[in-house]
Chains A and B, each alone.
Chain A
Amino acid sequence: MNWFIFLALLQDGITTGAIYLLLAIGLLIVFSVTRVIFVPQGDLLAFGTLTVAALQGGHLPGTLWLLDGVSALALIAALFQGRRAAMRGVLAWGIYPAVVTAIASALAPREIPAISIILALAIVTPMGPLIWRFAFRPIANASVLALLILAMALHFVLIGLGLVFFGPEEAGAPPITNANFDLGSLNVSGQTLAILACCVVLVLGLRWFFGATIHGKALRAAASDRLGARLVGIDAGATGALAFGLASFIAALAGVLIGAVTPLSYDAGFDIGLKGFVAAIMGGLVSYPMAAAGAILVGVLESLSSFWASAYRDVIVFTLLVPILVWLSLRSGSPEDRA
């Protein structure tokens, strides 16, 4: 391998690493607030890509009908829960999906990339809160393991739906930019830069959100002490919905971004999500900067190993976990007991 190929692989690795980073962040937010290990996040990523692809193909995606259907259920449930919940429910699960559906029906035939991307984000983002509402909130106090198993089951539900909605074919998303830059002999694509820029903006945005807004602070409070947060009046249901909403927004965004680089099929999200996990585990499921470093490392390693030993790519990436876990296990004592 020469220097040139190395740089090209490095660029590739950093691009995918940035996607893994996005997923790792979503995973960490959800885990620290609700203790759910959000396996289906990768599937939402695939939903993001495929929803854009469908809109760009000029037809309405199945995910839109899914949004409408599940929102209707949530609306009905909210109507039985007192006046305030009902009003919020009408807004979130009645008016919002209706507006999104109307806009999508009106604009999808025009196939404008920017509109398709925004619509895809608008369609996939509410799935997180809906998943929280119907899957996890009913057993929010169950053990981490029970929640994890439920998340696994949910993964099968989502890929099942994905197959129904989008069929088995791969599809891609339109790039945000078609620009290209030549850096010496290296060609840097504008999409790579766009992905990195989105990553940076998102990280800074989350920083601001967690540091300066009341909702962000509520999330942090719920993350550090769920019971304590409830005692000071932070609604566990609302923080959970917010955390899942952030995660599904991040997943949809990542899907839109990566879709322009690699076409995805309905079941491709899981592997991508898992590599986000690997990154998050490197952060010990607690530290954002560590997870960022881990994500870039996973991306670069994957890109390099696909050059040398492509058949063993996944094996190499997942084996990377072992030394990290050895280190983690030496650092921490015995596993904490349940409180």
Chain B
Amino acid sequence: MTPLSSPPRVISGSAPGRLCVDGRVKHGHEAILRGWAIRFAAVIAIILIPAVLPTFYVTLLGYVGMATLVALGLVLLTGISGQTSFGQASFVGLAAYATTVLTKSYDAPPIAGLAAGLLLTGAIAWLLGLVTARLSGHFLALVSVAWGISFFSLFGTIPQLHGFNGIGNIPPLRLGRFSAASLRVNLAIIWAAVALIMAMSANLLDSRIGRAIRTLNGARLMGASVGIDTVRLSRTVFVIAALNAAVAGFLFAHFERFVSPTPFSLGASIDYLFMVIIGGAGSLWGAPIGAALVVMLRDQFNDWIPRITGQAGDFESLVFALVVIVLLQRAPDGLLPLLMRFKRRTSPHAAAGDDAQTEQLPVPVTVPGEELLALQGVSRNFGGLAANRDVSFTVHASEIVALIGPNGAGKTTLFNVVSGVLPPNSGSVRLFGVPAARLSPRRVASRGLARTFQHVKLLPDRSVLENVALGAHLLGRAGLLRAMLRLDRAEEAHLLSEARAQAVRAGLGNMLHVPAGDLPLGQQRVVEIARALCLRPRLLLLDEPAAGLRLPEKRRLASLLRQLRAEGMGVLLVEHDMDFVMQLADRVVVMDFGQKIAEGPPERVQTDPSVVEAYLGGLT
């Protein structure tokens, strides 16, 4: 890791203040104090509340806690990474049966049951993820219905599990000589687990991996373009969600001390999903809120609906489902955002100050005059339509090449071919001197090519800084575990300071903490450029960077590009703004109907008869 030339300042994240490491000392101390106060209060609550509650509520809160654990995993899976599972209850069941069989039949300590449950569930989820991680959201959802039913039916049919008679008298939790036979102690253990896992999940979301996870939800191509292995990551998230469910299953078996297939049915899985939807899938706090609401609503409905209707029936589920439907229609983002509306909106980062001096940014490693990109006879068809035909050109270090042409000339297709999104049908692509026609976007990114998109691809709800920091993904190494345990702070500080520096350099210094989606479109393009710069590319591909910018912003962009060129970077840009192109580019490649029709310095291309014809429709 490169030594930092300036001390890490405030590390921003999703939570206000408490994540400060250094920098604003006063702010940092306050936040740290407040953070510890909250933690202390939580510990006291977890110990005291179970001790004083009536038994009925002890059981109810136990269920809420266990459901929260499952729902936390689902928030990560559904709300954050955009995948849906109707099979979480079967993961709960796997772990519950694992610990039941081990502790009851083999007299193993519960801790071994926990380990076995986590291992078994993790392995099965990993295998399922192998199959489903590439599939788009609704496929995973449907398949999860299938395995939800399969596991349920297996729990009911495997003879050793005693079918629907269930297994009772499961030993209580114990560790050494300490045995937790009382429900109250169990309740404290459950909520301690909730607090721990919630903190770990929050840590994860506020990290490099957390940012990467957010790209899984509808921005996978962008994720790949900054070097994120989206397929592997979505499998990882899936496994994490399953492990959360496994912890709940372990606790369930020792809390109830009885297991049968019923609580692991498809219906239970759907309930977990309802919790997340009702609470709000976008935030971790949606999990406890949704879990509490669903568990308590169900309890209440079971209590008074039969009294009203005077007959036994499925009225509880019916009314409950109607409530869910109305909520989905009226509050599709869950109740949490509605609750948050009443809270004073604080901007956690405004206080942090963004007058950071621009860090000394590393200069791309290129040899002057080195050939960065060479296309030779590249063709790409879509069915019968030749989007690119026999296109050849090169881009060198310290050079700005502009790709121009009328709409539909095939410029964006060519970008996609170069950046690995589309393989060419024929012809060769050499990137940094190595054949690259078959590389994935992720590999292309890791070799030093960064790009922006014609249709801006950002995480609109996240801050500009976080969006830019996505580009620094490959600069970090810290994995899941380090992120969850907050052992990634030094690296995170480094990544964020790099992101901040690039953002400031691109002219976004006064809007670092604004949600990227709130910026005007032109500025969103600049965010993409800053993100691309975070990859420390040797070659930069910009798709219409100046579109939507005002004149001063265009000038600023042009001078940034000139500076990058001076540092040795190669730039290939598609642009329709001819003034911008002609003043900036060293060379212009003109395309029309998929073919290159001219190439040369701007002044020569402007007078080229075939170019004039392509643009003006053959007036000459």
Q: Residues on A close to B: CB < 8 A?
A: 37, 135, 138-139, 142-146, 148-150, 152-157, 159-161, 163-164, 271, 274, 277-278, 281, 285, 311-312, 314-315, 318-319, 321-322, 325-326, 328-329, 332-338
Contact = CB atoms under 8 A, between A and B. Distances in A.
Contacts of B150: 314-315, 318-319
Interface of B: 78, 82, 84, 86, 131-139, 141-143, 145-147, 149-150, 153-154, 157, 218-222, 224, 230-231, 270, 273-274, 277, 313-315, 317-318, 320-322, 324-325, 328-329, 332, 457
A175 to B, nearest CB: 30
Given A149-B274, A325-B132, A274 B321 contact: no
A142 B332 contact: yes
B593 to A, nearest CB: 24
B78 A329 contact: no
Contacts of A332: 134-135
Given A153-B274, A318-B146, A337-B218, A148 B325 contact: no
B320 A156 contact: yes
A160 B137 contact: no
Interface centre among B132, B138, B315 (most CB of A within 10 A): B138
Given A274-B145, A325-B132, A334-B220, A156 B321 contact: yes
Nearest to B328: A150
17 contacts: A37-B141, A37-B142, A139-B332, A146-B328, A155-B321, A156-B320, A157-B321, A157-B325, A164-B313, A164-B315, A285-B138, A318-B147, A321-B143, A333-B134, A334-B224, A335-B135, A337-B221
Contact of B321 (A154, A163, A164): A154
Contact of A314 (B131, B149, B219, B274): B149
Contact of B137 (A144, A278, A328): A144
B344 to A, nearest CB: 29
A161 to B, nearest CB: 7
A156 B317 contact: yes
A150 B329 CA distance: 9
The B contact surface, by secondary structure, is: helix
Contacts of B329: 135, 138-139, 150
Contacts of A143: 137
Nearest to A35: B138
A318 B277 CA distance: 26
The 6 closest A-B pairs by CB, nearest first: A160-B318, A335-B136, A156-B321, A318-B146, A329-B134, A338-B218
A159 B270 CA distance: 15
Contacts of B219: 337
Nearest to B321: A156
A130 B154 CA distance: 37
A96 B36 CA distance: 67
Given A148-B141, A150-B325, A163-B313, A274 B220 contact: no
A336 B134 CA distance: 10
Contacts of A285: 138-139
Contacts of B222: 337
B270 A152 contact: yes
Given A157-B322, A312-B153, A149 B143 contact: no
Given A148-B141, A337-B219, A321 B313 contact: no
A163 B136 contact: no
Contacts of A314: 149-150, 153
A161 B219 CA distance: 41
Contact of A329 (B86, B131, B142, B321): B131
Contacts of B273: 149, 152
Interface centre among B274, B317, B321 (most CB of A within 10 A): B321
B467 to A, nearest CB: 16
B224 A322 contact: no
The A contact surface, by secondary structure, is: helix
A278 B139 CA distance: 11
Given A149-B273, A153-B274, 12 more contacts: A139-B332, A145-B82, A148-B141, A149-B277, A156-B321, A161-B318, A164-B318, A285-B138, A325-B135, A332-B134, A335-B137, A337-B220
Contacts of B325: 135, 150, 153-154, 157
A325 B149 contact: no
Contacts of A164: 313-315, 318
A77 B273 CA distance: 31
A145 B325 CA distance: 14
A156 B141 CA distance: 17
B142 A160 contact: no
A311 B152 CA distance: 12
B134 A334 contact: yes
Contact of B131 (A138, A274, A325, A335): A325
Contacts of B318: 156-157, 160-161, 164
A152 B78 CA distance: 16
Contact of A328 (B135, B145, B157): B135
A120 B274 CA distance: 33
A326 to B, nearest CB: 6
B314 A139 contact: no
B132 A329 contact: yes
A325 B317 CA distance: 32
A242 B472 CA distance: 49
Contacts of B137: 143-145, 335
Nearest to B151: A315
B17 to A, nearest CB: 33
Contacts of B320: 156
A73 B306 CA distance: 26
A322 B146 CA distance: 10
B317 A160 contact: yes
Interface centre among A135, A145, A285, A338 (most CB of B within 10 A): A145
B138 A145 contact: yes
A315 B84 contact: no
B218 A329 contact: no
A137 to B, nearest CB: 10
B604 to A, nearest CB: 39
A321 B332 CA distance: 31
Contacts of A326: 131
A145 B143 contact: no
A154 to B, nearest CB: 7
A318 B90 CA distance: 14
Contacts of B315: 160, 164
Contact of A152 (B86, B132, B133, B134): B86
A271 B149 CA distance: 9
A277 B145 contact: yes
Given A274-B145, A277-B145, A325-B139, A159 B134 contact: no
Given A154-B325, A329-B131, A335 B313 contact: no
A318 B138 contact: no
A319 B153 CA distance: 12
